[in-house]
Structure 1
Amino acid sequence: MKTEESRFEAEEDSAPLDMLMALFEARGWPCGSSNEEMSGEVQGSWTTYQLRCVWRAEDQVLQLLCLPEIRVPDEKRAAAEELLSLINEQMWLGHFDVWSNGGVLLYRNGTMLGDEGLLSLSQAQALVEIAVEECDRFYPAFQFVLWGDKSPRDALEAAMVDPAGEA
């Protein structure tokens, strides 16, 4: 018997929001959608992330936002922006930003889908996984700056410690 996810793998590429909704539903993640936007929740290593996906058909661009529920207080804005610069230098796909309205931290990735404007299941999975992995990877650095009073450089260095060997 086929699982929900394998059923979607067999289908052709789909409209971006339809494919993302199918992925979320197959994984049992909470989600909802409107004509040009879908939103959902994904549990990461550190917190539950809010994902928002916006489709701009006229440009054939899918924008994915991942919000780790971190607000940057005004008194930490300069340190947070310095940390963002250091982090974004290391990013291959997407970037981190702070919305000027409300100081909400977010990961943002825009993807051009070509003339057909279709998204495959593997593309949908990759976009969501990359967003969650990047938020998980840098979440501790934001915590160190915002609540641990570390300098941005020290926070990033502390968050990027990779364990050596096996436990």
Structure 2
Amino acid sequence: MRLSEGEMGRHEDCPPVEMLGQLFEARGWTHEFVSEDEITVEVQASWASYQLRAIWRAEDNVLQLLCLPEIRVPDDKRVAMFEMLGLINEQLWLGHFDVWSNNSMLLYRHGLMLGDDGLLSLGQAQMLVEVAVEECDRFYPAFQFLLWGDKTPQEALASALVDAAGEA
């Protein structure tokens, strides 16, 4: 769902966490400012509800967006998951999937370098959020097939992409 500058109210570029807050507000998403440099929101997507977490690092002018599909990878599936993530990440132009080492949570992560002014545009904010949610939705079935359907990484990915293609 693309919003126009008129629908957002303000249209000028602004600090990244503030712009994301405006975008989430315009979409009617309940969000929380964790700090002046971090915001979080829960988004209902096609397959599941995802937590989005954006963290601004001013010293590097980098905005990192994490999308967490609330999937934990059991120890006995870690090797297979990493193999599948390698296959998935080869297909991505923006961001990548990973598994946190401390809690085995699956996540999508994308870092966006901003200019010297450290400002984010509405278009950049929408693209960042939409790509994260779309990629999580695109590969969510593959994660399910691997973790609970006892498919190999190749089978899980092939099955998920065939199923997604047939959803129209």
Bucket of the pairwise TM-score, normalised by the shorter protein: over 0.9
The equivalences for 1:103-142 within 5 A come to 103-142=104-143
Shift of 1:10: 4.7
Maintained 8 Å contact 1:9/1:121: no
| Residues 9 and 93 of structure 1, relative CA distance in 2, 3 Å threshold | farther
Which residue does 1:31 correspond to in 2?
A: 31
> What is the DSSP-based 3-state SS (H/G/I as helix, E as strand, rest coil) of the residue aligned with 1:24?
helix
> What is the DSSP-based 3-state SS (H/G/I as helix, E as strand, rest coil) of the residue aligned with 1:138?
helix
Please give the alpha-carbon distance, in whole angstroms, between the structure 2 residues aligned to 1:9 and 1:127: 20
Q: TM-score, normalised by structure 2?
A: 0.92
Which residue does 2:20 correspond to in 1?
A: 20
Which residue does 2:54 correspond to in 1?
A: 53
Which residue does 1:153 correspond to in 2?
A: 154
Shift of 1:6: 2.3
Residue 11 of structure 2 corresponds to residue 11 of structure 1? yes
Shift of 1:42: 0.9
Please give the alpha-carbon distance, in whole angstroms, between the structure 1 residues aligned to 2:22 and 2:5: 8
Deviations 1:52-86 (A, max 9, x none): 00000000000000000000000110111111000
> What is the DSSP-based 3-state SS (H/G/I as helix, E as strand, rest coil) of the residue aligned with 1:100?
coil
Q: TM-score, normalised by structure 1?
A: 0.93
5+ residue gaps, structure 2: none
Please give the alpha-carbon distance, in whole angstroms, between the structure 2 residues aligned to 1:138 and 1:101: 23
What is the aligned length? 163
Please give the alpha-carbon distance, in whole angstroms, between the structure 2 residues aligned to 1:105 and 1:85: 13
Amino acid at match of 2:89: N
Shift of 1:30: 1.3
Deviations 1:93-150 (A, max 9, x none): 0000000011000000000001011001111011000000000000000000000000
Please give the alpha-carbon distance, in whole angstroms, between the structure 1 residues aligned to 2:159 and 2:38: 36
Larger deviation, residues 6-15 vs 134-143: 6-15
Please give the alpha-carbon distance, in whole angstroms, between the structure 2 residues aligned to 1:24 and 1:74: 35
Which residue does 2:86 correspond to in 1?
A: 85
5+ residue gaps, structure 1: none
Please give the alpha-carbon distance, in whole angstroms, between the structure 1 residues aligned to 2:82 and 2:70: 17
Percent identity for Structure 1 against Structure 2:
66
Maintained 8 Å contact 1:5/1:23: no
